Structure 1
Amino acid sequence: MKKGFFRKALLNTVLGTALAAVLGVAAGASAEAGTISLGHTTWVGYGPLYLARDLGYFKEQGLDLDLQVIEEASLYMAAAASGKLSGSASTIDEILKYRSPDFCFKAVVALDESYGGDGLVVSSDITSLAQLKGKTVALNEGSTSEFWLSYVLGQNGLSLKDIEISNMSADDAAAAFIARRVPAAVTWEPNLTNVRKGNHGKVLADSSSTPGVIVDVVALGCEVIEKQPKDVAALVNGLAKANAFIKANPEKAYEIMAKGVGGYLKDPKDFAESAKGVRFYDADTNKVYLGTAAAPGPIAELIKSADATWSTLGKTRMKVDYAAMVDPAFVTAQP
């Protein structure tokens, strides 16, 4: 791929009027010392970012964190590529597809892992993954849903080539499954609960069986990491304090995070219920999961697996590995 092609193509096709309207005043924020701006979708796992912000954990260290809800990965990654955002909160498998020689970013801290929050729903007559062979599965192509299913199939001697994919969003996939238009779908909460309660079929597998595979991280532009190390450290330290607060005061934490994240999670009860499907990553978990440059943690194998999956499907811009995708220095520097 020619140098510069990805950035130009991405910005020309995606970063237009709609993106500018979504970002608003955030444009240019990533260049300001003391400010970090992140794009992300609505997800329970991003609650600690709002908790640390609203409890003042970032502000007390001189950091102003600007969080922008953008419900499309290509949009917030385009904004990060152009410098309109400092980075993103997203799954590592999702964002590595956008890494290129011209678009450098690295994960500096892990936020959470899906632990039952994502899953595969099937009709009642399907009792094993082997029975999916030749059947249609509704899922969002190019997303974490496709990567996770590829991983699960691979663990059972199958591959994506063994099924027929019907491309649609995770919510639309759930709707199509409930309407019996497809025999299987990959989706997430609260759709999994709706399937279980509505007698629409069953959840054949969920992410509780694949810990450490669907992991959200904060990834920042390499220039941001280089020029704003104190701000990055403040971000990582603030998140560590937020996770300690969650353990000590879960009900209050859910209340604050629900208000911050908003959307379908604005009710603290709904947030608390969704939180059952994730595991938040505290400081100690981060140190183990990210590891060090000399001794990479489990995230290295996840990156290797995701790179192999997306490369096979022709969706990567360059070959990536731990060194290209992770900067563990801020996590390892914590006491």
Structure 2
Amino acid sequence: MQKEKRNIMFISGYIVVLMFAIIDTLFIGNVSANSSKTVNIAHSSWIGFYPLDLAEEKGFFKDYGVNVKIKDIESKADSKSALASGKIQGIATSVDTNVLSAASGLKIQNVLALDTSTGADGLVGIKSIKSFKDLKGKTVALDTTGGASYFWFNYMLQKNHMKLSQIKVDSMDSGAAGSAFVAKKVDAAMTWQPWLTKAETRKNGHIVMSSKSSPGIIVDTLGLSTDFIKNHPNEVKGIIKGWYKALSYIKSNPESAYKIMSSKAGIKPKELKKEMTTEIKLYDKNGNKKYFGTQKNKGQIYKISKIASNLWYTSKISKNKISADKVTNPTFVNQIK
């Protein structure tokens, strides 16, 4: 009897040990799966975002332990809902867009400056539209869901003492706006490259104004979910380092870099290189440290965020204001040496 009991106890103990071993194996498997979980980042068809695609293509994010997937989402509304639902963890867009999103309750913070427009955004129109004021009574294609074009458009409305109601607005994303102008469906459009160049091919079409006239107003950043930032700080650093490595690769291997990025942009490498080197400025490590500054010595991003928050509120696009401190996180760009 004692022998039988010992056998039963032995078998029971073995089963318990085996169960723990299985559980431990499953747990380790889950940890490994979680550590390699894909981080989804969305962006629209803007030339300043293509280094993100380059970093994904060349495996630069993976070099720093992050599995990043870049997704093309043109609509600001779609990217916001995707972040809110957890389908994506980040959005590459303009500072003002992420400010508007945060003011509406979306938990997002800007952690990395990507580029600033120095001529790659603009208003295209028929030749009779010679200035912004000439838009009165005209049909304008404009993304009214947010974004650099809408922010800049409202900025110019205030500057020219005009109201949106004085213009016939046809709402669509900025890429579609450029396409609509080329197709002669509207009198004017707020758009960006490569659509500015394409718009000039339209008979009787020209660039009315470009972002050269408003330096420092249009700046693009990477905004990440605050929950993702809190729970995955090392991955945030990896994403930023991947961006920096992409910029270094563009300098050291321009032919390869522009060939990869041009396939994403849908234009020739030579044309993309010209636009990216003359109409935008990309923010590298030093540029980010200067642009963000610190909590004690704040950089330009805090000023633009405040302007955006006030403009969205006074334009009645947002019901709330949000402080620049709440939507800006300078921690990571300052930690990376």
If the TM-score is normalised by the length of the shorter chain, which range does it land in?
Answer: 0.7 to 0.9
DSSP 3-state at the match of 1:99:
helix
Match of 1:223 among 227, 233, 250: 227
Instruction: Kindly indicate whether residue 48 of structure 2 is the aligned counterpart of residue 45 of structure 1.
Output: yes
Are the counterparts in 1 of residues 60 and 242 from structure 2 also a CA contact under 8 Å?
yes
Deviation at 1:159, TM superposition (A): 5.0
Residue 264 in 1 paired to residue 249 in 2? no
1:76 aligns with 2:79: yes
Q: Is the 8 A contact 1:33 1:231 kept in 2?
A: no
Equivalent residue letter for 1:121: V
Q: Could you give the per-residue CA deviations for residues 112-166 of structure 1, whole angstroms, max 9, x where no partner exists?
A: 1222222112322333333334544332213332211222343445454554433
SS at match of 1:316: coil
| 8 Å Cα contact 1:33-1:228 kept in structure 2 | no
SS at match of 1:146: helix
Give me the identity figure in percent. 35
Equivalent of 2:286, from 284, 287, 310?
Answer: 284
Stretch of structure 1 that moved more, 98-107 or 222-231: 98-107
Residue 120 of structure 2 corresponds to residue 120 of structure 1: no
Q: Are residues 310 and 323 of structure 1, via their aligned partners in 2, closer, same or farther at CA, if it must alter by over 3 Å? A: same
Partner residue in 1 for 2:13: none
| Runs of 5+ unmatched residues, structure 1 | 1-30
Aligned to 1:309: 311
Q: Deviations over 1:17-75 (max 9, x none)?
A: xxxxxxxxxxxxxx934542212223221222222233333222211112222232222
Alignment partner for residue 327 of structure 1, among 317, 326, 329?
329
Distance, in Å, in 2 between the alignment partners of 1:159 and 1:294 is 38
Matched letter for residue 303 of structure 2: E
Please point out which of 163, 167, 170 is paired with 2:171.
Answer: 167
Aligned length: 302
Question: Compared with structure 1, are the counterparts of its residues 61 and 168 closer, same or farther at alpha carbon in structure 2 (3 Å cutoff)?
Answer: closer
Cα RMSD between the aligned structures?
Answer: 2.6
When the two structures are superposed, what TM-score results if normalisation uses the length of structure 2?
Answer: 0.79
Aligned residue in 1 for 2:204: 200
Contact 1:290 / 1:298 at 8 angstroms: preserved in 2? yes
Structure-2 change in CA distance of 1:196 and 1:71 (3 Å) = closer
Report the residue type matching 2:272 in the other structure.
Answer: F
In structure 2, the CA distance between the partners of 1:85 and 1:194, relative to structure 1 (3 Å rule), is closer
Q: Which residue matches 2:27?
A: none
Larger Rg: 2
Gaps (5+ residues) in structure 2? 1-32
Equivalent residue letter for 1:132: L
TM-score (norm 1): 0.80
**Structure-to-structure mapping, 1:92-241, within 5 angstroms:** 92-99=95-102, 103-144=106-147, 145-160=149-164, 162-178=166-182, 182-241=186-245
Higher helix share: 2
- The one-letter code sitting in structure 2 at the alignment partner of 1:272 is K
Which shifted more, 94-103 or 290-299?
94-103
Distance 1:258 1:131, change over 3 A: closer
Deviates more, 1:274-283 or 1:218-227: 274-283
